[in-house]
Structure 1
Amino acid sequence: GAAAGIVIGQAVASALLLYYLMARCSELRLRLLAIPIKLAPMAAILKVGALSSVNSFCSLAAIIVITGFMARHGVDVLAGYGIGARLEFLIIPLIFGFGAASTALVGVHFGAGEIKRAHRVGWTAALYSAGLTGLIGVLVAIFPDLWANLFSDVEAVRAACRAYLQIVGPFYAFFGMALCLYFASLGSGRVLWPVLAVILRVAVVTAGCIYLSSGESAGIEQFYWLIAVGIVTQAFVTGAAVKLGAWTRGLN
């Protein structure tokens, strides 16, 4: 039911957008027939798009890895973690609001040769995103029951969710900054370092989970702290790379 609903909803939305671009949008009319195939534009798109797909995959992989290890602590802990982690997914559209704008504006300024201004735009969007997501994270860390109690009446599930929010929530600001800088990097056409950062996050989480699971005394709180370390690692590597010239390397 839920899976079918997602597929049907996305299919309907895609059909409506395709109809709009082909029949209703006079400024940008999409024509699927008689379009010459040009390899240069395709290569330029794949240069950014292929790496971007890796970023999306790794973002999900980090959560999947943790989910696998959380399952070893029982159904209640797994459910509590899932409820807490769902909030991370829900704040992504909020980050996208700033990120999509920064993608366009950074691209425009790069095209105009205003590289310094492009950096200011990217960092401004990232700070706004960090502020918003950080505020949400702090609020749920202080009042975790506002979220945990919405989805379960089982105290063990609520306790696992509360622990997640209290530990990971304050670090949502770093998640907001890292993801927004990734979107801004799309505008510059240079996404290698943001992608490497999220790959490193997955590596840190995976290695940490294996290490913690090798002992018998590791509690769920330690796994939650590991999630926070992964988020901070991604933010630090992404921010440092942009600051040190990842966007300008190779420019004349």
Structure 2
Amino acid sequence: MVAAMAGVGSVAGYGTGARLEYPLIPLIFGIAATIWPEQWLRLFSAKADMIETGSAYLRIVGPTYGFFGLGLSLHFASQGAGRLYWPLTAGFLRIAVALGVGWIAPSITGSLEWLLGALTLGLVVYGMTILAAVRSGAWFRQDLLSSKSPERALLMVTSSNQTRTQRTPA
């Protein structure tokens, strides 16, 4: 529809603008939720313990939603570039950090804030890992041609499956 209404050249502008939603929505929501956590939470429940814990979560983790949005937008861009190694690695790192630190820190301190801090650290690790990989040129390296590359192995399996499918008589 965009091309029909505004021309083919405007499709790139529309696509870029739409992709900016990925980092902006978590960033804006994170800021709003950090400033007014009780108002957001009361949309779902008025129970005091839920409001207290949810407010702590939004005040501690909410400011880092922008890192999640950054990682998410770069994840989708990496998918378009056919380079998913680093986004998937970043996702596993996020889980490992959140679970590892999230288990160790509260067991030592007995504090919910340390658990929430672990979740915060996981979001920062996620966004920054993908950003560092993209900025270092991971999309443009020729390591895809290396037989040791996980992406190359997946590409080879996919290609051989397609070749077998094409050779099979109908």
What is the TM-score normalised by the length of structure 1?
Answer: 0.48
C-alpha distance 213-162 of structure 1, shift in aligned 2 (>3 A): closer
Equivalent position to 2:51, from 158, 168, 185? 158
Q: Which has the higher contact order (CA 8 A, sep 6+)?
A: 1
**1:130 matched to 2:23:** yes
Q: Which residue of 2 aligns with 1:221?
A: 113
CA distance in structure 2 between the aligned counterparts of 1:151 and 1:231, rounded to whole angstroms: 24
Extract unaligned runs of 5+ from structure 2: 1-10, 146-170
Q: 1:242 is matched with which residue? A: 134
Q: C-alpha distance in 2, partners of 1:214/1:159?
A: 21
Q: Does the aligned pair in 2 maintain the 1:141–1:169 contact within 8 Å?
A: yes
* Distance across 1 between alignment mates of 2:113 and 2:136: 34
Deviation at 1:214, TM superposition (A): 3.1
Deviations 1:17-49 (A, max 9, x none): xxxxxxxxxxxxxxxxxxxxxxxxxxxxxxxxx
CA-based RMSD? 2.4
CA drift of 1:127 comes to 5.5
Whether the aligned pair in 2 keeps the contact of 1:168 and 1:224 (CA below 8 Å) is yes
Q: 1:233/1:149 Cα in 2 relative to 1: closer, same or farther (>3 Å)?
A: same
| Contact 1:125–1:180 (Cα < 8 Å) also in 2 | no
What is the distance in 2 between the residues matched to 1:140 and 1:213? 24
Alignment map for 1:1-252 (pairs within 5 Å): 129-215=22-108, 217-250=109-142
In structure 1, C-alpha distance between the alignment counterparts of 2:106 and 2:114, rounded to whole Å: 10
- How high is the sequence identity, in percent, across the aligned residues? 36
1:104-142 per-position Cα deviation (integer Å, ceiling 9, x unaligned): x7xxxxxxxxxxxxxxx6xx8766532332111111110
Rounded Cα–Cα distance in structure 2 between residues aligned with 1:126 and 1:207: 32
Shift of 1:174: 0.7
User: What is the identity, as a one-letter code, of the residue corresponding to 2:123?
Assistant: I
Distance in 2 of aligned mates of 1:132 and 1:212: 30
2:6 aligned partner: none
TM-score norm. by structure 2 comes to 0.70
Q: Which runs of 5+ in 1 are unaligned?
A: 1-100, 106-120
In the alignment, the residues of structure 2 paired with residue 170 and residue 127 of structure 1 have an alpha-carbon distance, to the nearest angstrom, of 18
CA gap 1:202/1:142 in 2 versus in 1, 3 angstroms:
same
Number of aligned residues: 132
Q: Distance in 1 between matches of 2:107 and 2:58?
A: 25
CA–CA distance in 1 between the matches of 2:106 and 2:63? 25
